[in-house]
Structure 1
Amino acid sequence: MTRRSLAACTSCGACAEACPETILEIAANGVALKPEVGECTFCGACADACPENVFADNWTMAHVMRISDDCLAKAGIACMTCRDVCPESAISMRPRIGVPFLPELDTGRCTGCAACSAACPAEAIHPVEKEPENV
């Protein structure tokens, strides 16, 4: 969902009802992704159900994910959950001597699907808007 396409949302809720992953909700400004719930599989059910032109044909999100300082690995606790669940392999682990590997997210590969966010035991991964030229 791009920022431009979200302007067409009438908040009817058809997309949220059609989503098999139940990751969409109607928010104050239209439809929103609930990244803590699960992964967007880009199945297209939301677009098929939507009576407006809200969902982009190229299946890109207006956001990417960001790993916050609440990450367990950043606190010295070994965890690679985000890397293991990422369907695009957008998260790699940077080795460090004497402490757990540190996750690094490649925003160029990140689809914003939120698989990592839903799986993160520390709830440390959140969506952030893409830079305008990358939307």
Structure 2
Amino acid sequence: MSSINQSRRRLFSRKKTDAVRPPWVKQTIEFTDECTRCDKCIPVCETQIIVKGEGGFPEIDFKIDECTFCQQCVNACPEAIFENTDITPWQIKATIQDSCMAYQGIWCQSCKDACDQRAISFSLAIGKAPLPKIDIEACTGCGACVAPCPSTAILVRHV
């Protein structure tokens, strides 16, 4: 197979990414087809969590900070890729991985302390560290719980 055919095949078989895009991106579009990578959303993000990701497309990096839903990315974007900001900003939620310190018997509640929505609670058990539980209905997917986690056990991803 020629290298031109291999390149074409790669072009048309783009792998889907699990990247978290800015809030309010239309669910009905293929983001990488519509975003022009102008980067206007990156400098206006008040918590600086929008970064250049794979292929130069904007992605959210919750290891940096949380999304405050300030809407600055929406306002800065010249393309028609965003929904009305009166709706839920995105379909992502926090999940806790097995690497959570509480699952290892270590008392830690840094994620709960960071969650303004009170979506994370801990259940007490005699002789054990309290275990975390996420209320999926209360979780906004803001990512406030990610950066403070000392064991990087929290992921925010599509549901």
Q: Given the two structures, how large is their TM-score scaled by the length of structure 2?
A: 0.75
Which residues of 2 match residues 49-128 of structure 1 at below 5 A?
Answer: 49-56=76-83, 57=85, 58-128=87-157
1:77, CA displacement in angstroms?
0.3
Over the aligned positions, Cα root-mean-square deviation in angstroms equals: 1.7
Letter in 2 for 1:12: C
Gap regions ≥5 residues in structure 1: 131-135
1:97, CA displacement in angstroms?
1.4
1:108, CA displacement in angstroms?
1.3
Letter in 1 for 2:39: G
Residue 28 of structure 2: aligned partner: 4
Q: Given the two structures, how large is their TM-score scaled by the length of structure 1?
A: 0.87
Deviates more, 1:89-98 or 1:25-34: 25-34
1:62, CA displacement in angstroms?
2.9
Question: Which whole-Å deviations, capped at 9, do the CAs of 1:40-97 have from their partners, x for residues lacking one?
Answer: 1111111111111334322512311111011011110000111111011110111111
Report the Cα distance in structure 2 between the residues aligned to 1:102 and 1:49, rounded to whole angstroms.
41
In terms of fraction of residues, the more strand-rich structure is 1
1:6, CA displacement in angstroms?
6.1
CA 1:34 to 1:68, structure 2 compared with 1: closer, same or farther past 3 Å? same
The reply to whether residue 27 of structure 1 matches residue 53 of structure 2 is: yes
Report the Cα distance in structure 2 between the residues aligned to 1:59 and 1:50, rounded to whole angstroms.
19
Report the Cα distance in structure 2 between the residues aligned to 1:74 and 1:67, rounded to whole angstroms.
10
Gap regions ≥5 residues in structure 2: 1-22
Letter in 1 for 2:51: E
Give aligned-pair identity as a percent. Answer: 35
Question: Contact conserved, 1:46 with 1:55, CA < 8 A, in 2?
Answer: no
**Which is higher, the Rg of structure 1 or of structure 2?**
2
Report the Cα distance in structure 1 between the residues aligned to 2:30 and 2:88, rounded to whole angstroms.
13
Aligned residues, how many? Answer: 130
1:113, CA displacement in angstroms?
0.7
Letter in 1 for 2:47: E
Letter in 2 for 1:24: I
